[in-house]
Structure 1
Amino acid sequence: MNLADKVLAVNDDLPIRTDKPVHSGKVRSVYWLTPQDSRRLIKEKGYPVREDAPLAIMVISDRISAFDCIWHGEQGMQGVPGKGAALNAISNHWFKLFKQQGLADSHILDIPHPFVWIVQKAKPVKIEAICRQYITGSMWRAYNKGERNFCGIKLPEGLTKDQKLPELLITPSTKGILKGIPNVPEVDDVNITRDDIQNNFAAFNFSNQADIQTYENLLTQGFDVISNALAQLDQIFVDTKFEFGYVEDENGQEKLIYMDEVGTPDSSRIWDGTAYQNGDIVENSKEGFRQLLLNHFPDPDILLNKDRMNERSELAKNNALPVDVLMDVSQVYVGIAEKITGEKLNLSDNPKAEIIDILRNQYGLID
């Protein structure tokens, strides 16, 4: 079988019964189930939600995005083999650990296939909740230019690139374009402070002010759980992004949960511990792919400068990356997933056909 066939690149064309448009993000597509199918599955499968809760099927893809663009490879490679299955397996592992340790639930109710989640509808908190244990990436770039105030946090003098920070820092940014909030520019992914959130909690979709503390607790506790587990595998949890939302339980009680993905190579930086002790950075996350792109193209400013987004989109569209580059990325994702879960990742020859078969025969969602 052709390598390109093993990649699930297009994930918004599955014949799942739905009465709403399919929402397709950079990596996942969301199919909202009909109220009838949601009710039927809640009853049949015993999901712990209200009987009329809206459910969705979330299908991950093997697409790879970096610098807000989707990248492709030669020989028709529209993604990275094993990437989707690796991301889901890692997230599933951490969500289970969070639950075992009494942190909070996630939006996932069922996992019919390695590429598929059945989720309940959540009201998302409009914050990219970012936690940092080391100074690197955008934070280092800002610090290196002389900024000492990052997301309202005062940074000490004398920090060096990639060093461990004196304490774990929460450095939030906006999720989506938020309008009418004082001091917050109306652009996606802009850094904000705790005061911004505190003074405008409803604009960020918090139900009440007390939940800001809850979100911070869940963020730092989740970070610590993953960091400690990775340390046992000689891996360093450098920084990560969490997302939160509200759902209702079967009694109609609202609760704050983890949503999207957690602790994956897409949403986090993970470094090899031994290499770091020896003064080297070996990335076990998407950051390695970002660095590769910065080195691959003659003008890295196109990738870093948000004002050059049109040029960046053209760059991604018109440049097929070498197959071995995508296979190296595949090795990183599959390797870290197998390390974290302790299980071999079995890659499907035809994920789309498998998904259709399972959702038709075991869930009755395909006519």
Structure 2
Amino acid sequence: MNVADQVMAVNNDLPIRTALPVHSGKVRSVYWLTEDDSRRLIEEKSYPVAVNTPLAVMVISDRISAFDCIWHGEGGMQGVPGKGASLNAISNYWFEQFKHQGLAQSHILDIPHPLVWIVQKARPVMVEAIARQYITGSMWRAYQQGEREFCGIQLPEGLKQNQPLPELLITPSTKGVLEGIPGVPEADDVNVSQSDLLKHYQAFGFRNAQDVAWYERLLKEGFATISQLLASHDQIFVDTKFEFGYVTDINGDEQLIYMDEVGTPDSSRIWDGAAYRRGEIIENSKEGFRQMLLNHFPDPDILLNKNRMTERFALARDNALPADAMMALSNTYRHIAQTITGQKIELSSHPKQEIIDCLRDNYQLIV
């Protein structure tokens, strides 16, 4: 079988009965169900939510994004085989761990297929919750240029690239453009301090000031859970991004939950422990793919310079990456998923048809 056929490249054209236009992001597409279908599934499947909760089918793809572009490979490979199933499996595993530890629920109610979640509607907190255990990446580049304060936290002098930080650092940034918040620039992905969050908690979407501390605890304890388990496999959890939101539970109370994805190779850096002790960095995350792109093209500034976005989009559109690079990334995703979950990620021969069959036969959602 052609490997390209095993890739779930387009995920926004499924014949799912919906109430709203499909929302398609870089990797996931969201199908908001009709009110009737939401109510029916809540009752039929005994989902633990209020009967009027809006539901959605969330379908992940195998597309690979980096530097704000979608990349493709030779032989018609429009994504990375097994990537979507790996991301879902890893997130599912961590969400279950968090739930068992009594931290918080997630937005996921059901997993009909390895590429599909049924989720409840959540009101997102407008902060990307970023936690860092090592100084690397953008933080290291800023530190090299003399910055010592990050999100209101002062770092000491003399740190070296890729070394552990004195403590786990929480460095949140804005999710989207937030307007009218004193001291916070109106731009996406702007660093904010805990003081900013506490002063303007409503503008960031928090219910009250106490929930700012609760989100930090959920982030720190969730990070510790992932870090400890990865360490048992000699993997280092370097840094990650969590996202949070609010849902209304079956009793009508608002609850802060984990949402999006957690602890995956897309949202985190994961290093090989043995290599790190030898003084090497071996990435078991998408960061390795980014480095490959920087080395693959003769002018890496196109990928790093936001003033050259037109050239960057053309670079991604016009260049099919080597098939072995795409398959190496596939192996990275599937290996780390199996390491975390203990389950092998199988490649589907016809992923889209499998999803359609499942949602028709078991959920009556196909038109």
Match of 1:14 in 2: 14
> Percent identical across equivalent pairs?
72
Instruction: Show structure 1 runs of 5+ residues with no match.
Output: none
Match of 1:339 in 2: 339
> Matches of 1:99 and 1:310 in 2, distance apart?
44
1:280 correspondence with 2:280: yes
Match of 2:240 in 1: 240
Moved more, 309-318 or 9-18: 309-318
* Corresponding letter in the other structure for 2:251: N
- Map residues 133-148 of structure 1 onto 2, 5 A cutoff: 133-148=133-148
**Cα deviation, residue 265, structure 1:** 0.2
**Cα deviation, residue 201, structure 1:** 1.1
- Deviation track 1:218-269 (CA, whole Å, cap 9, x = no partner) reads 0000000000000001100000000000001101110000000000000000
Match of 2:269 in 1: 269
- Map residues 59-70 of structure 1 onto 2, 5 A cutoff: 59-70=59-70
> Matches of 2:306 and 2:156 in 1, distance apart?
28
Match of 2:79 in 1: 79
1:39 correspondence with 2:39: yes
Match of 1:208 in 2: 208
TM-score, normalised to structure 2, is: 0.99
1:222 correspondence with 2:226: no
> Matches of 1:193 and 1:317 in 2, distance apart?
37
Over aligned residue pairs, what C-alpha RMSD do you find? 0.8
> Matches of 1:301 and 1:155 in 2, distance apart?
28
1:96 correspondence with 2:96: yes
* Corresponding letter in the other structure for 1:137: G
Match of 1:124 in 2: 124
Moved more, 175-184 or 73-82: 175-184
| Partner-residue secondary structure (3-state), 1:227 | helix
* Corresponding letter in the other structure for 2:247: V
* Corresponding letter in the other structure for 1:365: L
**Cα deviation, residue 307, structure 1:** 2.5
Number of residue pairs matched by the alignment:
367
Match of 1:363 in 2: 363
**Cα deviation, residue 5, structure 1:** 0.8
> Matches of 2:144 and 2:297 in 1, distance apart?
23
> Matches of 2:263 and 2:216 in 1, distance apart?
16
**Cα deviation, residue 185, structure 1:** 1.8
| Partner-residue secondary structure (3-state), 1:21 | coil
| Partner-residue secondary structure (3-state), 1:75 | helix
| Partner-residue secondary structure (3-state), 2:176 | coil
Moved more, 294-303 or 223-232: 294-303
**Cα deviation, residue 309, structure 1:** 2.0
**Cα deviation, residue 276, structure 1:** 0.6
Match of 2:52 in 1: 52
Instruction: Show structure 2 runs of 5+ residues with no match.
Output: none
**Cα deviation, residue 75, structure 1:** 1.2
Moved more, 297-306 or 313-322: 297-306
